[in-house]
Structure 1
């Protein structure tokens, strides 16, 4: 990674990729999110138990059956959406719990999607093509993140340094890790999309704690009306409001 890319800020990245205007990014830009904004202090590292990166108050896991897998998920999401001087990262925003709870529901079971054969390898533009549910893909992906960490560094994923986590996540994005019934690149795209959704969704769904991700984007959330502001030409900084507050 060039020196210029190391010094770019997360806000600059959000502006240039369209995330700042509400769009989720497409596949293929690992430099934008994984390992993003790693300065000399390596603020993206979020190993559970390390100073300044404690897990939020437990809300109860609904999908993952053990703490290790949940910690792997947590640290992976923190590398994708790290804490920096602009605001909290994925762990503090509650993204791991958002993903866990989504996987425990219809999102994880693909219950609203056609999941019967015949199955064939689809083109990159065809979207979801696996016979596996998202829940099954996440279980396998998290297991392989842990296995790859032990294979490369002789320790678990959650014990790695930030750059080591990024190396493994990059390998997944580049489709270098074999997976059964899907590809590691597809798992990475699911993980990245779920991380962004958890960070920016309404807090009623379990992520975006205290609406802090909205505050970083100066997004007002769900306001009843703007009639008193709509004719004002100046930018209006509005305290965000969630659906649960309406």
Structure 2
């Protein structure tokens, strides 16, 4: 997804992406046994456990552009997507716990070869954020969060296409993780920190962990009348 997509196009993309991402994403190594928090934190008061203050401002600014708050549905900030990403950095995904992480590593190979870097995802984030902030200061004279929306979109697009190159981390790999985790945090069960009050599920009409909705499976083009249910039992 390009950072320059219009808000409505982004939302259509995100709704379509739901067909490819399970409600509880397995790609990040999240666990169904995670401790439930029935009272989601307010994003403005949340204290990140992995990101420092500058990194946290970057994550918030980037997520806000990947799934903006303007439009028909909720944005990444309303759904606590940054909280989800912070949690992932301290979990199995951030530490690549169940990944094969031994060399040799090769660039420009098929994705079928798997992840090709000695850096843990949490290290990719840390180095990627630092390098992107330096680029913004050198090129635009401002830190990433201080840029206007259009310029932030431009920077994200350049990361995705690797028009920007860094010495110690792949810009495109950093963007890939950032976009992947943003989508996961938007659609995953709230037990993992994002999708606050199942707002994203309500937006797309997804029933969540509701035990019985078989009678609706074959009723196409009809709005599901019952709200979603989370793994903690929260009802929408």
TM-score normalised by the shorter chain: which range applies?
0.7 to 0.9
Structure 1 residues 110 and 152: alpha-carbon distance in aligned structure 2, compared to 1, 3 A threshold: same
Q: Contact 1:122–1:129 (CA<8 Å) still a contact in 2? A: no
Q: What is the deviation of 1:99?
A: 0.5
Matched with 1:69 is 55
Q: Contact 2:74–2:203 (CA<8 Å) still a contact in 1? A: no
In the TM superposition, 1:58-207 aligns within 5 A as 58-64=45-51, 66-125=52-111, 126-180=113-167, 182-207=169-194
**Match 1:242 to one of 219, 225, 230:** 230
Q: Contact 2:11–2:73 (CA<8 Å) still a contact in 1? A: no
Structure 1 residues 8 and 97: alpha-carbon distance in aligned structure 2, compared to 1, 3 A threshold: closer
Per-residue CA deviation, residues 168-203 of structure 1 (Å, 9 max, x unaligned), is 111111112223454211111111000000010000
Structure 1 regions of 5+ residues with no counterpart?
A: 25-54
Q: What is the deviation of 1:92?
A: 1.6
Q: Contact 2:43–2:83 (CA<8 Å) still a contact in 1? A: no
Q: What is the deviation of 1:77?
A: 1.1
Q: Which has the higher contact order (CA 8 A, sep 6+)?
A: 2
Q: Contact 1:214–1:220 (CA<8 Å) still a contact in 2? A: yes
Structure 2 regions of 5+ residues with no counterpart?
A: 22-41
- For the residues of structure 2 that align with 1:115 and 1:10, how far apart are their CA atoms? 33
- For the residues of structure 2 that align with 1:204 and 1:244, how far apart are their CA atoms? 7
Per-residue CA deviation, residues 106-151 of structure 1 (Å, 9 max, x unaligned), is 2111121121222232514233111110010000111122111111
- For the residues of structure 2 that align with 1:156 and 1:190, how far apart are their CA atoms? 21
- RMSD over aligned CA atoms reads 2.3
Q: Contact 1:148–1:168 (CA<8 Å) still a contact in 2? A: no
TM-score (norm 1): 0.76
- For the residues of structure 2 that align with 1:6 and 1:114, how far apart are their CA atoms? 37
Structure 1 residues 133 and 230: alpha-carbon distance in aligned structure 2, compared to 1, 3 A threshold: closer
TM-score (norm 2): 0.79
